[in-house]
């Protein structure tokens, strides 16, 4: 078990002399902290930084983001992934504008009710911006605590995460924001998933896993399920006006992003004509292949060019395609078409 006073002192002391705090956190501007926490979920700091800079320049405050067009936001988010994050953040920010006078709620109960605000983001924003005594439990913290306590339970379980959050809140000091960031920083730099640097750890003497020599066995996690492999034919459908057929992705995966029509490889051209309500004139040129790995799926894509003389509401001028939000998956196949087209 953690000896709270000595443990806290060692951890905070280490953090003060080693911290590489994200610069915008020093402002304690709750909007900036909130935006960055939304971007940081399941995403590395180095990936987030350019996106954060772009957003904070274009949308420096609650009102400017609330007023933004959703498709423009999606375009700015393009490539960052988990696109529901920006939709939820947009909705939450609009609620703050409309119901809370464009001021980020300082009451935890109010803030936690906003869209996209879960236990981590809620705790992080409320502790860093307002010094509320709440834990911010991310993957780093789960790993750190499971090792300190030699806790062999599956950290993926919500009940275990709740437990760890409660446990931290029993010892969290008044400098709650710094304490949370110190735990995360410790996990990111010392108490790493592989090859942890226990020799440099400021709280080594408090670590149950270290004293039992079982650090490498923790945390315990279930093995990931095998990914589903999907094979698509992807179609570049062109008309005689230098336009290409694009549509908005439906369903839940990549919702709202623009895509080339894609069909399971065994779908006939007749079914495609039926589905799109247009007739294909010439068909067939193969333009390339692409593979994209998602969390739970792998796409294998083959791209083909088709021509039609029909009208269709979803045709887009080729020069406008770059302005529409498109997933990396679709970009991978689209790039292979674009380059040869420019040479024609």
Considering the rule CB under 7 A, would residue 166 count as an interface residue with DNA? no
Q: Which is nearer to DNA, 115 or 307 (CB)?
A: 115
State how far the Cα of 268 lies from the Cα of 317, in Å rounded to an integer. Answer: 27
Least distance CB 216 / DNA (angstroms):
11
Considering the rule CB under 7 A, would residue 119 count as an interface residue with DNA? yes
Instruction: Please tell me the count of residues contacting DNA according to CB under 7 A.
Output: 60
- Applying CB under 7 A, the span of 55-63, 223-231, 263-271, 304-312 interacting with DNA comes to 223-231
- DSSP code of 182? H
Considering the rule CB under 7 A, would residue 50 count as an interface residue with DNA? no
Considering the rule CB under 7 A, would residue 294 count as an interface residue with DNA? yes
Look at phi and psi of residue 181 and say left if phi exceeds 0, alpha if psi is from -120 to 50, else beta.
alpha
The answer to whether the CB of 123 falls within 8 A of the CB of 136 is yes
Exposed/middle/buried for 63, CB within 10 Å: 0-12, 13-18, 19+?
middle
Considering the rule CB under 7 A, would residue 214 count as an interface residue with DNA? no
Least distance CB 43 / DNA (angstroms):
4
Return the residue of 15, 55, 59, 83 that touches DNA, per CB under 7 A. 83
Q: How many CA atoms does the CB half-sphere of 75 hold within 13 Å?
A: 11
Residues written for the chain: 344
Q: Which of 37, 78, 185, 259 is catalytic?
A: 37
Q: Which is nearer to DNA, 24 or 273 (CB)?
A: 24
* Paired tokens of 312: 């269709």
Considering the rule CB under 7 A, would residue 181 count as an interface residue with DNA? yes
The answer to whether the CB of 129 falls within 8 A of the CB of 117 is no
Return the residue of 59, 120, 130, 236 that touches DNA, per CB under 7 A. 120
Known catalytic residue at 270: no
Q: Which is nearer to DNA, 184 or 244 (CB)?
A: 184
State how far the Cα of 140 lies from the Cα of 190, in Å rounded to an integer. Answer: 10
State how far the Cα of 274 lies from the Cα of 270, in Å rounded to an integer. Answer: 6
- Applying CB under 7 A, the span of 153-161, 201-209, 234-242, 334-342 interacting with DNA comes to 153-161
Least distance CB 141 / DNA (angstroms):
8
Instruction: Map residue 4 onto helix, strand or coil.
Output: helix
CA dist 62 → 76, 89, 120, 264 (Å) = 16, 10, 21, 42
Residues annotated as part of the active site: 37
In the complex, which residues of this chain contact DNA (CB under 7 A)?
Answer: 21-22, 37, 40-47, 79-84, 88, 115-122, 124, 138-140, 143, 157-159, 181, 184-185, 187-188, 193-195, 221, 223-225, 251-255, 292-297, 327-329
């Amino acid at each position: 078990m953690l000896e709270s006073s000595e443990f806290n002192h060692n951890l905070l002391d280490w953090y003060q002399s080693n911290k590489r705090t994200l610069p915008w956190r020093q402002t304690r501007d709750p909007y900036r902290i909130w935006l960055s926490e939304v971007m940081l979920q399941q995403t590395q700091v180095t990936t987030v930084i350019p996106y954060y800079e772009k957003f904070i320049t274009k949308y420096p405050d609650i009102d400017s983001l609330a007023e933004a067009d959703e498709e423009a936001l999606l375009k700015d988010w393009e490539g960052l992934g988990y696109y529901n994050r920006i939709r939820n953040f947009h909705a939450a920010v609009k609620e703050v504008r409309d119901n809370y006078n464009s001021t980020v709620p300082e009451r935890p109960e109010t803030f936690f009710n906003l869209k996209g605000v879960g236990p981590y983001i809620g705790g992080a924003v409320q502790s860093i911006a307002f010094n509320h005594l709440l834990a911010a439990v991310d993957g780093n913290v789960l790993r750190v605590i499971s090792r300190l306590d030699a806790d062999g339970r599956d950290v993926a379980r919500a009940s275990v995460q709740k437990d760890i959050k409660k446990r931290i809140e029993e010892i969290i000091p008044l400098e709650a924001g710094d304490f949370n960031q110190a735990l995360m920083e410790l996990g990111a730099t010392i108490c790493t998933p592989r090859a942890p640097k226990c020799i440099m750890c400021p709280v080594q003497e408090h670590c149950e896993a270290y004293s039992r020599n079982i650090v490498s066995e923790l945390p315990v996690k279930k093995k990931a399920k095998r990914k589903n492999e999907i094979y698509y034919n992807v179609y570049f459908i062109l008309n005689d006006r230098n336009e290409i057929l694009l549509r908005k992705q439906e369903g839940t995966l990549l919702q709202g992003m623009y895509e080339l029509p894609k069909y399971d490889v065994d779908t006939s051209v007749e079914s495609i004509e039926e589905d799109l309500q247009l007739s294909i004139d010439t068909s067939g040129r193969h333009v390339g292949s692409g593979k994209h790995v998602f969390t739970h799926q792998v796409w294998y894509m083959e791209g083909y060019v088709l021509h039609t003389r029909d009208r269709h509401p979803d045709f887009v001028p080729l020069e406008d395609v770059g302005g529409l939000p498109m997933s990396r998956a679709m970009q991978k196949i689209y790039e292979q078409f674009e380059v040869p087209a420019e040479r024609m």
